[in-house]
Chains A and B, each alone.
Chain A
Amino acid sequence: MIRFLLRRTVHAAILVFITLTATFFIIRLAPGDPLGRYYSPDIDPAAMETVRRQLGLDRPLPVQYAKTLQSFIRGDFGISIHQRRPVAQILKETIPRTLQLTGIALLLQIVLGMGLGMLSAMRRESSLDRSASVVFLVLYSLPSFYLAFLLVSVFALKLQWLPAAGMFSVHTPTTQMFADRLRHMILPVTVLAVGSAAALARYARGSLLDQLHEEYIRTARAKGLSEGRILWRHALKNAAPQLFTVIGLSVPFLLAGAVVIEKIFGWPGMGALMVDAIFTRDYPVVLAANFVAAVMVILGNLLADISYLWVDPRMRMSRGEPRAG
């Protein structure tokens, strides 16, 4: 079991390293120059050269790569070319904002997705289940920006119940700060959570129903257990590893969603930062943001793997090779 944990952690670390390396070379080998945007006829070439030297851009690429690795290990992500301040500082501001959105969305996704999925599985093949399946499918097929536009049109523009964008309103009395923050979060979090909750509900329903064909379910029924208990205890615990995997895999989807949604709602988080950095060709920021995103994704998978141990006794006791599927 400890060996399993250790191996997974080492795998995760290697993956983070590979991701960082790949991103570094992808953006540096691409045509274009990090300072390309800032050239103009009236800039003194000598001054430009100084900046280049300050940023370490005059060294050969492998040396720059080694330097970058070194500083990443120290937690130094370089200096943003566009914003002219340490990337670490920018990340420190933006990551919590993004985590606020994605964290709450993840929670909502799990609660709604699992709840509705179980409900559908309980009432399988009823008219409720059938219509829910179609609704899940549509929600899951809905591009989040389209949903965002729909909700903004109705709730922010037409009814004016909720703010259309931003993280807070200026001139809010301190006592209402919290409520104001919350009001600003409702739309983005909803948009972010809906799609992945629908996907999880579909998946949860399917994998629970798959379990119901297993023979131990028949044993549980033969004991006289109620259908609800069979689903909640016997089927759920067996389906849990797959569900953890799916939840772990939803981290990249939430992050991708955050990119679009932060842009639409003017939420100054990491996703918006990343899009801006890409358009302004802010190399250090792109590299660092990609790195942080990869770490989050890999962490999500790692947590999913580890949670297998918690539910499956066979994993806890064996050499720790995860079950297939």
Chain B
Amino acid sequence: METLLEIKDLSCSFRTEEGVARVVDRTSFSVRPGETLGLVGESGCGKTVTALAIMRLIQMPPGRIDGGEILYKGRNLLGLSESDMRKVRGNEISMIFQEPMTTLNPVFTCGYQIQEAVLLHQGVGKKESLERTVEMLGLVGIPDPRQCAKSYPHQLSGGMRQRVMIAMALSCHPSLLIADEPTTALDVTIQAQILELLQSLQERFNMAVLMITHDLGVIAETARRVVVMYAGQVVEEAEVGDLFHRPRHPYTIGLQESIPRLVHRGRELSVIPGRLPDPFHLPPGCRFSDRCPHAEARCTEGDIEMRDGAPGHRVRCWKDVARTEIVE
């Protein structure tokens, strides 16, 4: 199948006073047109940096893209000039963020902020762009779109603000939407609404979504395929059903077991011991080795490469620790 976005061996690092931290290390994955790819990991694992790298929005300095390619419809985004890249941002690839409180500019009306993108990319007049804005606000389920266009962000609730963000991101009908923890800051009931909205709009615009989250529940609800990241590396990539039923990487297994489930009531919640390795002093070999219940001497000897654990299921672990079945 053709791919919309292909990331090949992407590496990013940050330079700080304490040294250089490689926060994304030779990451590869791809997104197909119209699909939802989940990108999962703890905070600090490099998933947001990966997303910002795709948009080329990493602050440089202190950040740096050390190597790799980001192919969007065959073009390497890392090779584009800044002005060409601006034509991609907001137009072909859009992004929404976690905190709808601070991601909208407080001193401009919501309408103005959406209109700005339309005017920039769509080559339409003021009047038409306003119409487009109101139409988009309607599409994201805002009851009085005309009124909303005139309001300032502080006058709206968190859920409404995130809808405005989505309207802004989709106003130019991008082919790819990067959603970085779009529901984390919202109430649970609102979360579900926003996810549902994203799914319906995705179908309507035939748009691919890169869903970045630490919440496996969100992934289960939205994604078809999942990429799991740990300490800057992809550790597992699989179809969503496969990943949930037959996870192969010890980290993914640990991640799943630490989710509270009603069916397992009475059983003790398991916790992954330890924490993410210090990005300045990454352990040699497998980065999960110091927390892994299955670790052996060999795990820390050399880099572990990704391998096919099963058809369409890649994993960065040389052992076959796959639990054949997670009991339902």
Contacts and interface: CB of A to CB of B under 8 A. Distances in A.
Contacts of A214: 102
Interface in A205-233: 214-216, 218-226, 233
A224 B120 contact: yes
Given A225-B120, A314-B106, 11 more contacts: A215-B97, A216-B103, A216-B104, A220-B105, A221-B89, A222-B169, A223-B117, A224-B86, A224-B120, A225-B86, A233-B108
Interface string A261-288: 0000000000000000000000000000
Interface residues of B, number: 32
A223 to B, nearest CB: 4
Looking at A237, A238, A313, which has the most chain B CB atoms within 10 Å of its CB? A313
29 contacts: A215-B97, A216-B102, A216-B105, A218-B57, A219-B113, A219-B165, A220-B105, A221-B57, A222-B55, A222-B89, A222-B90, A222-B95, A223-B89, A223-B90, A223-B94, A223-B116, A224-B88, A224-B90, A224-B117, A225-B116, A226-B83, A226-B86, A233-B108, A237-B108, A238-B107, A313-B107, A314-B152, A314-B154, A317-B152
Contact of B57 (A222, A237, A311, A317): A222
Nearest to A236: B107
Contacts of A237: 105, 107-108
Q: Sorted from nearest, which 7 A-B pairs have the closest CB atoms?
A: A224-B90, A224-B89, A223-B90, A216-B105, A313-B152, A215-B102, A223-B117
Contacts, number: 76
B215 to A, nearest CB: 20
Interface of B: 55, 57, 83, 86-91, 94-95, 97, 99, 102-109, 113, 116-117, 120-121, 152, 154-155, 165, 168-169
Interface of A: 214-216, 218-226, 233-234, 237-238, 311-314, 317
B94 A238 contact: no
Nearest to A235: B105
Nearest to B87: A224
Contacts of A238: 105-107
A214 B88 CA distance: 22
A206 to B, nearest CB: 17
Contacts of A311: 107
A271 B57 CA distance: 52
Contact of B91 (A218, A219, A224): A224
B101 to A, nearest CB: 9
Nearest to B152: A313
A215 B107 contact: no
A225 B121 CA distance: 10
Contacts of B155: 317
B99 A216 contact: no
